Amino acid sequence: MQWDDLLNTADDLVSGAAGNTRPRQSNLRRAVSTAYYAMFHCLASCCANSFVGGPNADRSKPAWRQAYRALEHGLARSNCKNKSFISKFPREIENFANAFVALQEKRHLADYDPSARFSKHEVQREIAAARAIIEGFQAVRAKHRRAFAVYVLFRTRADL
């Protein structure tokens, strides 16, 4: 799954039907959820590429899928909330971790709170922010992204 395709889908949901300047709440809620999943799939891909190899590597497809699927929402969120550890990464990764947590919380509202409401402009800002944060994340040196992949995939040991 490509993160940019997901963000384009989120944009489409916010745009609504042709000529409709006011999208339905269901589309706005789905767009928030989709923006989070763009970040999640970007991170899952980073994890798989870090452990098994990128698209041009001689890699096992089943092993790559296993590494991709190993990312857990809750563990990733918990580790991203650990400010004392996240602050050791470059600013772009710290921004990614903070946005990952915040957007996951908004996704929970969008997906599970029937009374949650979002404005078109709010959702457009979230999508644009997710795009910028992912692009910043991907611009960071590979060694930092690999270290972050290890950090979000595994429980942190107290002796580190």
Alpha-carbon gap, residue 137 to 122, rounded angstroms: 22
Tokens 């980073």 label which residue?
Answer: 46
Alpha-carbon torsion, ordered 95, 99, 101, 106, to 10 deg: 170
Task: Please give the structure tokens belonging to residue 25.
Answer: 């709440």
Best-predicted range by mean pLDDT among 17-26, 78-87, 103-112? 103-112
Task: Please give the structure tokens belonging to residue 70.
Answer: 């190993």
For residue 145, what pLDDT band results from cuts at 50, 70 and 90?
very high
Q: Cβ-count burial of 85 within 10 angstroms (0-12 exposed, 13-18 middle, 19+ buried)?
A: middle
Q: What's the mean pLDDT in 43-52?
A: 94
Instruction: Flag whether pLDDT at 19 surpasses 60.
Output: no
The pLDDT score that the predictor gives to residue 59 is 87
The pLDDT score that the predictor gives to residue 129 is 98
Instruction: Flag whether pLDDT at 7 surpasses 60.
Output: yes
Instruction: Flag whether pLDDT at 119 surpasses 70.
Output: yes
Are 112 and 106 in contact, with CB atoms under 8 Å apart?
no
The pLDDT score that the predictor gives to residue 17 is 57
For residue 56, what pLDDT band results from cuts at 50, 70 and 90?
confident
Instruction: Flag whether pLDDT at 102 surpasses 90.
Output: yes
DSSP-derived secondary structure letter, 119: -
For residue 139, what pLDDT band results from cuts at 50, 70 and 90?
very high
